[in-house]
Amino acid sequence: MPKIVSPQQLDQIVGLIGQYPLGIGVEELAQALGVGLPRRTLQRRLASLIEQKRIFSEGEGRALKYRLVPTIVGAVGSAQGSSTVQGIGDVYLPISPEGEEIRAYVRQARQQRTPVSYQQSFLEAYTPNSTAYLPESVRAQLHALGRSPIANAPAGTFARDILNRLLIDLSWASSHLEGNTYTRLDTARLIEFGQAAAGKDALETQMILNHKTAIEYLVQDTGNIGVNPETVVALHAFLSDGLMPDPSACGRLRNRAVEIGGSVYMPIAMPQRIGELFAVVLEIAAEIKDPFEQSFFLMVHLPYLQPFEDVNKRVSRLAANIPFIRHNLSPLSFIDVAQQDYIDGLLGVYELNRVELLRDVFVRAYERSCQQYVAVRQQLVPPDATRLRYRTQLSSLVAAIVRAGADADEATIRAGVPETVVASDRERFIALVLEEFNTIHAGNAIRFGLRPLEFAAWQERNAGRD
């Protein structure tokens, strides 16, 4: 007769797992329990907790980890055919009747849901600029919300103008969706001053810093980024740095099977097919003209394919911002998105090939993001025409002066004015370069492609000359 396990014993395991927001392996868990519990007994108890939907597992083999299932607070109510749910610390999410159907299905116990594999027909059913996951009325609404006062400026201008705010918001919110326990204030201190939060796991700190680097890449290199395999692979390399069990898996499509914790969905396993479908997904996405439809398509099909061994959701969230950055629209920061709402929406895609619940999450998330940046947009002044015309030359000259360790005086700047600046614009161009040097500091030097050490060395040399 099997031994009866007391609720207290299971609660002890759950409590320990809760101390590791990024997950804990069975060996580490056994050591933490410290009661000489046989491995197979512990595995049975973990399986029981998974069935109870108190925890879930992700990864496999030595990379297998256990994490808590996020708790949802509040009752579900309905009004005029829509429902709402609230996660801890998050806002209410209006859910469509179709989204509610999906949520009811994916919240059943795993044994009540039908196991499924990757369905290529789901991708094949999509025709760019003909099929639309987002109805025309929704896209029009989002365009009105996201429009910036500098819509016609060079790609990435608006994102660069709000970069400091975006780095904090998106790094924190995206990491929060992965269970990271950094607060927004912790994140601000880490990004602005390099101060890691006390008592936090080093992996949590690394996750935040990886987001910062990846976002800077998207915003600062708009001439080279796009909806293409190279950009998405680069995002994975930035976001997974120091977080993968196998470091060589960073920035590389996976070559082995993976499982989705808490889901009955089994992603495709053949490496060759993964590579082929990855190229097809991005080829289709690149053809989509509407930036909101393009963004949402990436949020649907990148996680569904699971092209990387891990970090797929993070990659999809940042890739979803590429269209917004390129079109100078308000970015999608994922502020106030409840983790469980987001997971349920993805499970609907994985297990039912239905997008309605994830669409509810996407639309609400964008509305909330725009609310964060409305004040920023109002503060922006119309861009200087000369600055826009010679943006590249201006940045290149600032960077060249810094790297050469030269004085940022008028004589140096005048000598470095490129020939592409016409005579009638030269004086204004010189004044703009002087303005840049009056406001440049360690926090914004990244705008000119300068590394922190390069700027610090120039600053030290120039301080010595004063």
Q: What is the pLDDT of residue 464?
A: 54
Q: Assess if residue 334 is contained within a domain.
A: yes
Residue 172 sits in the same domain as residue 310: yes
- Determine the average pLDDT of the residues in 444-458: 87
Q: Assess if residue 203 is contained within a domain.
A: yes
- Determine the average pLDDT of the residues in 248-253: 95
Q: Assess if residue 88 is contained within a domain.
A: no
The C-alpha atoms of residue 28 and residue 56 are separated, in whole angstroms, by: 16
The count of other CB atoms within 10 Å of the CB of residue 340 is 21
pLDDT at 2 over 50: no
Long-range contacts of the stretch 274-278 (C-beta < 8 A, 24+): 274/305, 274/307, 277/120, 277/123, 277/305, 277/307, 278/229, 278/253, 278/305, 278/307
Residue 375 sits in the same domain as residue 395: no
Residue 256 sits in the same domain as residue 211: yes
SS3 36: coil
- Determine the average pLDDT of the residues in 175-191: 95
The C-alpha atoms of residue 401 and residue 459 are separated, in whole angstroms, by: 11
CA 155-160-163 angle, to 5 degrees, is 140
pLDDT at 153 over 70: yes
pLDDT at 416 over 60: yes
SS3 68: strand
High-pLDDT (> 70) share of the chain, %: 88
Question: For residue 329, what are the domain limits?
Answer: 93-379
The residue among 443 and 241 whose pLDDT is bigger is 241
Domain boundary among 68, 103, 120: 68
- Determine the average pLDDT of the residues in 408-426: 92
Q: What is the pLDDT of residue 73?
A: 34
Residue 177 sits in the same domain as residue 254: yes
- Determine the average pLDDT of the residues in 42-53: 84
Q: Assess if residue 435 is contained within a domain.
A: yes
Task: Tell me the per-residue pLDDT of 207-233, one tens digit each, with 9 for 90 and over.
Answer: 999 999 999 999 988 888 999 999 999
Task: Tell me the per-residue pLDDT of 301-328, one tens digit each, with 9 for 90 and over.
Answer: 999 999 999 999 999 999 999 999 999 9
Note the pTM of the prediction, 2 decimals: 0.66
- Determine the average pLDDT of the residues in 28-55: 81
CATH number at residue 168: 1.10.3290.10
Q: What is the pLDDT of residue 382?
A: 57
Helices within 108-156 (DSSP H only): 120-124, 136-146
Q: What is the pLDDT of residue 86?
A: 36
pLDDT band at 386 (very low <50, low <70, confident <90, very high): confident
When mean pLDDT is compared over 16-30, 36-50, 224-238, the highest value belongs to 224-238
Q: Assess if residue 330 is contained within a domain.
A: yes
Q: What is the pLDDT of residue 100?
A: 94
pLDDT band at 377 (very low <50, low <70, confident <90, very high): low
Q: What is the pLDDT of residue 3?
A: 56
When mean pLDDT is compared over 41-45, 72-76, 224-228, the highest value belongs to 224-228
pLDDT at 451 over 50: yes
The residue among 75 and 173 whose pLDDT is bigger is 173
Residue 428 sits in the same domain as residue 328: no
Q: Assess if residue 87 is contained within a domain.
A: no
pLDDT at 381 over 80: no
Token output for 121: 């027909």
Q: Assess if residue 78 is contained within a domain.
A: no
Domain boundary among 32, 53, 68: 68
Residue 113 sits in the same domain as residue 213: yes
CATH number at residue 33: 1.10.10.10
Residue 177 sits in the same domain as residue 42: no
DSSP-assigned letter for residue 329: B
The C-alpha atoms of residue 177 and residue 185 are separated, in whole angstroms, by: 16
Residue 187 sits in the same domain as residue 312: yes
Instruction: Give the residue from 425, 400, 383, 337 showing the smallest Cα distance to 160.
Output: 383
Token output for 373: 């940046």
pLDDT at 81 over 90: no
Residue 239 sits in the same domain as residue 273: yes
- Determine the average pLDDT of the residues in 46-55: 83
Domain count, the chain: 3
Q: What is the pLDDT of residue 148?
A: 75
Q: What is the mean pLDDT of the chain?
A: 87
Distances (CA, A) of 350 to 60, 120, 263, 359: 19, 12, 8, 14
Return the exposure string of 288-318: e unless at least 16 CB atoms fall within 10 Å of the residue's CB, then b.
bebbbbbbbbbbbbbbbbbbbbbbbbbbbbb
Instruction: Give the residue from 407, 414, 409, 413 showing the smallest Cα distance to 461.
Output: 407
Instruction: Give the residue from 58, 55, 37 showing the smallest Cα distance to 46.
Output: 55
Residue 37 sits in the same domain as residue 139: no
DSSP-assigned letter for residue 247: G
User: Cβ(298)–Cβ(117) under 8 Å?
Assistant: no
Q: Assess if residue 81 is contained within a domain.
A: no
User: Cβ(171)–Cβ(211) under 8 Å?
Assistant: yes
pLDDT at 85 over 90: no
- Which strand (E) or helix (H) includes residue 83? strand 82-87
Domain boundary among 68, 103, 119: 68
Compute the half-sphere exposure of residue 427: CA atoms within 13 Å on the CB side of its CA. Answer: 1
- Which strand (E) or helix (H) includes residue 98? helix 97-106
High-pLDDT (> 90) share of the chain, %: 60
Residue 188 sits in the same domain as residue 301: yes
Residue 52 sits in the same domain as residue 163: no
Q: What is the pLDDT of residue 395?
A: 92
